[in-house]
Copies of this chain bind each other. A is one copy, B any other.
């Protein structure tokens, strides 16, 4: 796959340089690690700090979500790889306002290890209280009985948003984490992959699929899904994804949900709106009300083809968090 690159070894550093230059009114790098980015705004004393992070290649996730209503800082990893503990710790120190820091990230072994080490260091060296909430929204990645083994994918957007708003509301660390965990417990995602991406360093496709094949449940680093099959219509794909979500998390008639149709990188918005159209119909048939919807590229996998559907069940508290305004370089909500 053709890419606009310089030296592939420096791609993350160059991306960050361009990013900070493009949005100096939003974000800055910290002095010790170029991979440590924090908001430029002054946050309130006693506000719980929100720290997100993960590998690069998922833009707007994660660096795009630092700002009002979302995260206060982000630790940036290599492409599809966890950030190391150093930048996580540096961001932690920068955003702690005396009320502790919430770590929000997807459930991947590397992230669990590195964020865990940083949390320990923050506690021992800096006496900063850290608690973590992990995203495990990907239905395809483990059976229902082993939900704690599931990966985090596009539903991370809702978890960041819920916790980010809770922190702005003045919730303490325990309650910010409670809201993030509730958001995660109420959120399910299912994706479909149509075409691979390639890493800048290798240029090799991240997985193989036949010319008319798709893969249900593909992970957003190309992890194998549940099954491969022939490419179906947009309506059939939407039906399959919604079916798997609702079987895993039953939703009663009259309940309200937030919906995200997320593009993986190279899927036109036109196709995402076709998927949304059928998702909304399927929910409406069951008397489920879409309270708010998002359609676009929110957590990508470089130029991967395909999309995911995410549904979050809402109560009054989650509705307040989803309505709360956001002002980040790659995500603004009035």
Residues of A at the B interface (CB closer than 8 Å) are: 2-6, 11, 14-19, 21-23, 56-57, 59-60, 64, 194-195, 197, 212, 214, 231, 233-235, 237, 265-271, 273-278, 280, 293, 295-297, 300, 302-303, 305, 307, 327, 330, 332-334
Q: A276 contacts B18, CB within 8 Å?
A: yes
10 tightest A-B CB contacts, nearest first? A18-B277, A266-B266, A18-B273, A332-B332, A59-B269, A4-B271, A4-B234, A2-B194, A18-B276, A22-B293
- Given A231-B2, A237-B4, residue A277 in contact with residue B60 (CB < 8 A): no
* Also in contact, A57 and B268, with CB within 8 A (given A276-B18, A334-B327): yes
Count the copies. Answer: 2
Are A270's CB and B194's CB within 8 A?
Answer: no
B residues near A269, Cβ cutoff 8 Å: 59-60, 64, 300, 330
Chain B residues with Cβ below 8 Å from A212 are: 2
Q: Is the CB of A6 within 8 A of B234?
A: yes
Take A15-B274, A303-B268, A332-B334 as given contacts and tell me if A295 and B6 are in contact as well, using a CB distance cutoff of 8 Å. no
Of the candidates B5, B16, B265, B274, the one whose C-beta lies within 8 Å of that of A233 is B5
